[in-house]
Structure 1
Amino acid sequence: MTVGVDDFKKAMQLWASGVTVVTTHSEKFGIQGMTVTAFSSVSINPPQILVCLNESADTGTGIKQSQHFAVNILNSTQQDVSNQFAGGSSQQQRFENTPWTAGITGAPILNNSLMSLECKVIEEVRAGTHWIIIGEVQDCVCREGEPLLYYRGNYQQLMSQP
């Protein structure tokens, strides 16, 4: 017997995670992006990461077409960016008030994010309602700041040490 959906959601809310915006650019769909908390490193040599995207996400369709994406880790002041890319608005609206530049793969790099990783897709694995997309890191940009965190359905920030 498996755990029920509600129990699983409740359990997963106890996992604190960073907040990212995954972006891509494809010939067919243009620029696209979405908020994602399911992100992890996979390998250091070669440098690889993974993101998990719902099968219905249009950004995932763009990634499959372009075979490139960027993971932008949001800083503690970017809660509005997370909300903007979480849905409810068009792809055009998501990028209108968020400064970005095209990275080496063409994927949008959010200018004010804490860190950005540009990747080429090396594997896609279907898992339930999601795709696990594994990417090999092609470029990395790091900036100063603190991360935006998500825990128990709310945004959180790191506490400063005295």
Structure 2
Amino acid sequence: MDAKIFRDTLAQFATGITIVISQNIDRHLHGMTVNSFTSVSLHPPLVLFCADNRSDTFRAIEDSGHFTVSILSEEQEALSQRFALRGPQEALFQSLTLGESVSGIPYLADSLAFLDCTVDRIVPAGDHHLVLGRVDALNRLVPGRPLVYYQSQYQRLDAIPEPQD
């Protein structure tokens, strides 16, 4: 199967954008942009995302057994791009407002919402791993519209009224 056709076809599916954060055994923070995030189960509360096998953040999740998911607003496109780059992780977290979850893993305090998760299981899947997490804590943080990715571009949901608290 042609990889470009595969990618172009899947680009027809709109996704939200999240930042997944964890820390390695040395307590260094690692984060990555994720659009393969979804809820799995209410009882128990489970979520899932896909992580590239080469990702430092994935290795940190394996080390710590915990991660947070921050759901980005449409105003946070630059953060999505920032965490999509490979390179020194320390620079990614400079000048960000972070909250600390129950597990001790930070989350983006100015995102729409966050989830604090414990790894339930990790399943190898080609050049990625499926990371299934049990949600231990979560909260809505700020009102706004989600950042959406569709047809390989960031999109806005202008037709949807902005949620109010």
TM-score interval w.r.t. the shorter chain? over 0.9
TM-score, L = length of structure 1: 0.94
Question: C-alpha separation between the residues in 1 aligned to 2:9 and 2:27?
Answer: 35
Map 1:1-162 onto structure 2 (within 5 A).
3-28=1-26, 30-143=28-141, 144-161=143-160
Q: Is the 8 A contact 1:25 1:106 kept in 2?
A: no
Question: C-alpha separation between the residues in 1 aligned to 2:125 and 2:47?
Answer: 17
Other structure's SS at 2:75 match: coil
Question: C-alpha separation between the residues in 2 aligned to 1:135 and 1:116?
Answer: 13
Q: Is the 8 A contact 1:81 1:98 kept in 2?
A: no
Q: Give how far 1:28 is off.
A: 2.4
Unaligned 5+ segments in structure 2 are none
Unaligned 5+ segments in structure 1 are none
Question: C-alpha separation between the residues in 1 aligned to 2:160 and 2:79?
Answer: 26
Question: C-alpha separation between the residues in 2 aligned to 1:4 and 1:80?
Answer: 30
TM-score, L = length of structure 2: 0.92
Distance 1:161 1:55, change over 3 A: closer
Provide the alpha-carbon RMSD of the alignment.
1.3
Q: Which amino acid aligns with 1:146?
A: R
Q: Give how far 1:150 is off.
A: 0.5
Other structure's SS at 2:74 match: coil
Distance 1:161 1:102, change over 3 A: closer
- Percent identity of paired positions between Structure 1 and Structure 2: 34
Q: Is the 8 A contact 2:23 2:57 kept in 1?
A: no
Q: Is the 8 A contact 1:115 1:141 kept in 2?
A: yes
Q: Is the 8 A contact 1:42 1:50 kept in 2?
A: yes
Other structure's SS at 1:77 match: helix
Question: C-alpha separation between the residues in 2 aligned to 1:147 and 1:16?
Answer: 12
Q: Is the 8 A contact 2:24 2:59 kept in 1?
A: no
Question: C-alpha separation between the residues in 2 aligned to 1:98 and 1:18?
Answer: 21
Q: Which whole-Å deviations, capped at 9, do the CAs of 1:111-158 have from their partners, x for residues lacking one? A: 111110010001000000000000000000113111000111111111
